[in-house]
Amino acid sequence: MWFRETIFPPSGKVAEAAREHQDQLTKPPGSLGQLETLAVKLCAMQGSLRPAMDKVAIRIFAADHGVVEEGVSAFPQAVTAEMVKNFLNGGAAISVIARVNHADFAVVDMGMTTSLALEGLIDCAVARGTHNFCRQPAMSHAQFICALEAGRDVAKEASLDGAHCFIGGEMGIGNTTAAAALACALLNQVPADMVGMGTGVSEDGYQRKLMAVERALVLHADASGQPELLAQCLGGFEIIALAGAYLQSASAGVPVLVDGFICTVAALLACQLNPGLRPWLLFAHQGSELGHEKVLHALSARPLLALELRLGEGSGAGLALPLLKLACELHNGMATFSSAGLSEREDVR
């Protein structure tokens, strides 16, 4: 399958040259901390000593979840389609963030229960929502492949358009439940350590959410250790599409900036499908959703921000985007000691 094909790593040769350039800039070595590391990574990913972050593609994948039948969300399922309208009308947080960052923004219908015909909405619907995974697998193998390929195609179009970075976001009432269940299964974690409050459910709602994940893990225990099968049993169309988009971006040499809990679970799935993806991932933030820290730890990820976010929809990645832009500008625009006529550091012996 295409998603298991070799993903070549970022250029080690370019990374070495970028580190040497950083050490020549008019600052003490390492004094810009993660921004220096970020600049070096972007140089290696883009294969250039002058990294750029001028063209950024933000794609929001939306889908509905059958597990909502279990009362796991504070909001009705209709909110998925309503928020998609809000995205496209420019009223959502990610809409504002994309606009401020001058990003290329679009929304992808991966399978909402409500079919919409709106300008700017890309129709990749696999089905009108997943099945309730407390009772049966969330999707068939064919649907899994369809969702993965939809994400691939969306990311491929962005890379062909010259994107310097790909950001995926998600929308789907019930998708923190799906992400928590999938993360538990992929990492062999107990639900109590992974299931969070999501959109802000009541205590009773949280208990229903916890019980739904527990039931799902028991029902689909035979899929243990098989990432592809676990995704079919427990995932959502938007989560699978994100995984496909990340894999395709890496294959095309496009850096990926990963958003919050749900997007990080999608990245975890994608890395288990193809470990070659991992060097192409940058992590925007650590949110307040319970399981996010554990999934980040499993990926050895060092997020750029910690703002107690739990909104999703790509918002945390959008907020971290200016740091990527500044890392590029500092790398490209600062003077070197020689060009500025400054005396270089003398090591104390």
Catalytic residues: 313
Answer for the pair 239, 261: CB distance below 8 angstroms, yes or no.
no
What's at 199, amino acid-wise?
A: T
Residue keyed to tokens 């697998």: 137
Residue keyed to tokens 């809409």: 95
Antiparallel, parallel or unpaired: β 256-258 and 165-171: parallel
CA distance 334 to 22: 9
CA-based nearest residue to 285, from 300, 264, 265, 271: 264
CB atoms within 10 A of CB 130: 33
Answer for the pair 135, 28: CB distance below 8 angstroms, yes or no.
no
Surface-to-core class of residue 114, CB atoms within 10 Å of its CB (0-12 exposed, 13-18 middle, 19+ buried): middle
Q: Crossing angle, helix 12-24 and helix 315-333, to 10 degrees?
A: 60
Using DSSP, state whether 128 is helix, strand or coil: coil
Residue keyed to tokens 């950024």: 56
Residue 116: CB partners within 8 Å, gap ≥ 6? 81, 84, 85, 109
Task: Provide DSSP, 4-29.
Answer: GS--PPPPHHHHHHHHHHHHHBSS-T
* Length of the chain counted residue by residue: 349
Answer for the pair 251, 307: CB distance below 8 angstroms, yes or no.
no
Which stretches of 64-197 are assigned E, i.e. beta strand?
A: 104-111, 121-123, 165-171
